[in-house]
């Protein structure tokens, strides 16, 4: 009995051991053919984009060259925007998702990566009553729509904001009646409500994809007409202005002034209907709805004089002298440049009669008096066309605008604390954020020049808080806190709008399209993000080789490793595009020799280096019919060292020579 019991226990033990070994063996080999095993050494990548296609358990993001495919399994975590778990059937084309995946290394064109997790990204931000400032065609199906809209800051101030919207065929666009319209129906001047993506770039002008646009007011509701006055009259308590071609009724318009119509002269001063005279050129904002009469009639909302009769303008005149004629009149002598009958630039002198009715403004466009005028000031003058024929001609001055004070110009370098626009004036606040007495508020002059650190002219919108700038400005400052003064030029010294890429590999060079396509990896935590990027190049882009010498776009080759300085994303495309300020070659595979005599040998060696192993090298070089006479008696290894030292590192040269001479003894 004991004997049989012992045998039974022994057999059971063996069976258990065999089964456990099989299990252990299976467990130890688990993952060998399982692509879902995530070892410690494997990289996790992240791709964000819109679902283009769903087939069974395969999700495709992007299209054509930017297409990526991901396989979902029962181990893939699928989350909604609120982090609740959902099923693969809840995913739909058009959704924006973030996919974490393991990259599969194979040579297949349409390789499918294994998805670890998929998360839906919501995108719903609204802007109301935005004004379409500009529309630029980016492609046949895409437009960049620049909008301006207002927000209220923490100090209850109205702040004007600007944003670029990416609009394509997938953007839902509705007119005032709620009807669907096309992208091409959007026009400058429209007032719109927008729903856009939460993914907004951090560029100087933020960009976002527009999901929905609803037109509130079309630019077609009002129109602007510039023309000369033919007649001004009142009838039945209504005021009328007739403009257009006096010889053609069909090219005339009869404006009926609305009850709230505003009439201004060229100095923005409100005037009456009686101040309008025949022959003046005016700009009228009016309704687009017109009668079918001849001439057609429509309602005018605003009228402004553009070109008044008998006005002459002098630009950049210098005040040379000031003389008091009476308590109410001054005689201001100016010197200005003009071309004579021989097209030569000559200096001329004129006396301006200035009285209490002369409209005078300073650099801030604030009204000042005639007593504030000083010798040495640079001014712009609008004066009467009635000029005396005296030795020094005289004319009455209607308006004087101070461009620059007589004081010396100063230069200040500081960081931008704030920038804003109030009543069409541009302001930049710089200095110490914790000390108002160490701040300066610059008021930008009409002719201000703004440049980036590469000398390229940029706009006010390109300046951002935190940038260090160098400002050329007037030394005359207000006594306010912070003090104010006029800025004549601004140069960005340290730009936060510039992004750096290191060790990017050139995938494609397009001289025709003036761009290069590069790829690079960024590690965030334990994950690696792989990016493909298009760098746009123009004549202002600085391109340097490894030695720091300037080269052209055509000198860049696929496979080269570069560092780049580019603007923070300006265009949301696929792949994204950005303007490149500077490109520096770090390493390349096209180490072309400087000496033309070396070119044939060098090209042979490079070809052999790339296409064959070291043994084939020797065979090809041994039997290659090549003229070695230009070696001039040098030792062959010394010759190669001198030939490659200008284009290769020492370690690379040693490796090259070792491969070249290994296993072969060179004869003289």
Whether pLDDT at 510 is above 60: yes
Mean pLDDT of 333-356: 83
Q: What is the DSSP letter of 85?
A: B
Q: What proportions of the chain, in percent to the nearest 5, are helix, strand and coil? A: 15, 45, 35
C-alpha span between 395 and 491 (Å, rounded): 40
The reply to whether 409-494 shares the fold of 221-307 is yes
CATH number of 314-404: 2.40.50.140
CATH 2.40.50.320 fits 44-121, yes or no: yes
Q: What sign does the CA torsion over 19, 23, 26, 29 have?
A: negative
Backbone angles phi, psi at 615, to 5 degrees: -65, -45
CATH superfamily, with its number, for domain 125-217: Nucleic acid-binding proteins (2.40.50.140)
290, 549, 617, 625, 629 from 597: Cα distances, Å? 79, 22, 21, 15, 11
Whether pLDDT at 418 is above 90: yes
Percent residues over pLDDT 90 in the chain: 20
Contact yes or no for 364/443 (Cβ under 8 A): yes
Helix axes 650-661, 614-623, angle to 10 degrees: 70
C-alpha span between 202 and 256 (Å, rounded): 48
> What is the tens place of the pLDDT at every residue in 431-473?
998 889 899 999 998 778 898 877 778 889 888 888 889 998 8
How many CB atoms are closer than 10 A to CB 655?
Answer: 12
Fold of domain 498-587: OB fold (Dihydrolipoamide Acetyltransferase, E2P) (2.40.50)
Q: Where are the domains of the chain?
A: 44-121, 125-217, 221-307, 314-404, 409-494, 498-587, 596-661
> What is the tens place of the pLDDT at every residue in 269-300?
788 898 888 888 899 988 787 888 889 998 88
CATH of 409-494, one of 3.20.20.20, 3.40.50.300, 2.40.50.140, 3.30.360.10: 2.40.50.140
C-alpha span between 627 and 379 (Å, rounded): 75
> What is the tens place of the pLDDT at every residue in 189-230?
888 899 887 778 888 889 988 888 988 766 556 788 999 999
Token representation of residue 80: 């909604």
Highest mean pLDDT among 337-351, 545-559, 586-600: 545-559
pLDDT category of residue 385 using cuts at 50, 70 and 90: confident
Least confident range of 498-507, 570-579, 626-635, 644-653: 626-635
Q: What is the pLDDT of residue 461?
A: 87
Backbone angles phi, psi at 182, to 5 degrees: -90, 165
**pTM of the prediction?**
0.30
CATH of 221-307, one of 3.30.1370.60, 3.40.190.10, 3.40.920.10, 2.40.50.140: 2.40.50.140
């Amino acid at each position: 009995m004991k004997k049989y019991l012992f045998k039974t226990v022994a057999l059971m033990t063996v069976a258990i051991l065999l089964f456990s070994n099989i299990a252990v063996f299976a467990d130890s080999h688990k993952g060998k053919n399982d692509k879902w095993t995530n070892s410690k050494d494997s990289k996790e990548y992240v791709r964000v984009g819109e679902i283009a296609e769903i087939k069974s358990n395969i999700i495709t993001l992007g299209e054509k060259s930017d297409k990526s495919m991901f396989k979902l399994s029962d181990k893939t975590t699928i989350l909604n925007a609120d982090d609740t778990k959902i099923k693969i059937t809840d995913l739909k084309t058009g959704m924006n998702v973030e996919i974490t995946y393991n990259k599969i290394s194979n040579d297949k064109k349409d390789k499918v990566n294994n998805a670890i997790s998929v998360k839906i990204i919501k995108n719903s931000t609204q802007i109301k009553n935005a004004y379409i400032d500009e529309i630029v065609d980016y492609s046949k199906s895409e437009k960049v729509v620049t909008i301006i809209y207002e927000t209220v800051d923490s100090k209850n101030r109205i702040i004007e904001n600007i944003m670029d919207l990416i609009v394509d065929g997938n953007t839902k666009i509705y007119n005032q009646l709620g009807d669907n319209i096309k992208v091409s129906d959007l026009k400058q001047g429209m007032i719109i409500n927008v729903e856009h993506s939460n993914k907004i770039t951090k560029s100087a002008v933020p960009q976002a994809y527009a999901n929905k646009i609803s037109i509130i007011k079309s630019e077609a509701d009002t129109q602007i007409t510039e023309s000369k006055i033919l007649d001004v009259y009142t009838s039945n308590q209504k005021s009328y202005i007739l403009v257009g071609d006096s010889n053609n009724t069909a090219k005339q318009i009869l404006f009926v002034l609305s009850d709230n119509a505003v009439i201004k002269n060229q100095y923005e001063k409100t005037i009456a209907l009686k101040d309008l005279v025949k022959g003046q050129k005016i700009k009228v904002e009016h309704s687009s709805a017109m009668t079918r009469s001849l001439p057609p009639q429509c309602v005018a909302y605003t009228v402004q004089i553009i070109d008044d009769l008998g006005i002459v303008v002098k630009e950049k005149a210098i005040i040379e002298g000031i003389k008091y004629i009476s308590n109410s009149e001054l005689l201001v002598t100016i010197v200005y440049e003009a071309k004579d009958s021989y097209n030569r630039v000559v200096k001329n002198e004129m006396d301006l009669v200035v009285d209490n009715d002369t409209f005078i403004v300073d650099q801030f466009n604030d009204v000042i008096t005639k007593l504030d005028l000083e010798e040495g000031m640079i001014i712009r003058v609008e004066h009467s066309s009635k000029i005396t024929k005296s030795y020094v001609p005289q004319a009455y001055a209607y308006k004087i605008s101070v461009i620059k004070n007589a004081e010396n110009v100063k230069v200040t370098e500081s960081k931008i604390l704030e920038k804003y626009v109030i009543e069409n004036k541009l302001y930049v606040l710089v200095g110490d954020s914790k000390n108002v007495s160490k701040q300066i508020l610059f008021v930008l002059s009409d002719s201000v020049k703004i440049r980036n650190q590469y000398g390229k002219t940029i706009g006010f919108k390109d300046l951002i808080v935190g940038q260090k700038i160098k400002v050329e400005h007037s030394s005359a400052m207000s006594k306010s806190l912070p003090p104010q003064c006029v800025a004549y030029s601004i140069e960005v010294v340290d730009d936060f709008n510039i992004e750096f890429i290191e060790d990017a590999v050139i995938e494609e060079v397009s001289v025709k399209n003036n761009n290069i396509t590069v790829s690079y990896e960024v590690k965030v935590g334990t994950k690696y993000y792989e990016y493909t990027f298009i760098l746009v190049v123009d004549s202002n882009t600085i391109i340097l080789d490894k030695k720091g010498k300037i080269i052209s776009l055509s000198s860049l080759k696929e496979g080269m490793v570069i560092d780049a300085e580019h603007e923070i994303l300006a265009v949301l495309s696929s792949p994204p595009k950005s303007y490149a300020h500077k490109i520096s070659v770090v390493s390349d595979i096209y180490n072309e020799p400087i000496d033309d005599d070396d070119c044939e040998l060098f090209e042979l060696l490079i070809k052999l280096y790339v296409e064959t192993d070291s043994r084939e090298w020797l065979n090809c070089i041994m039997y290659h019919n090549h003229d070695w006479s230009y070696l001039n008696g040098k030792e062959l290894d010394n010759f190669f060292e001198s030939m490659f030292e200008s284009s290769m590192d020492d370690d690379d040269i040693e490796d090259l020579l070792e491969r070249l001479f290994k296993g072969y003894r060179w004869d003289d």
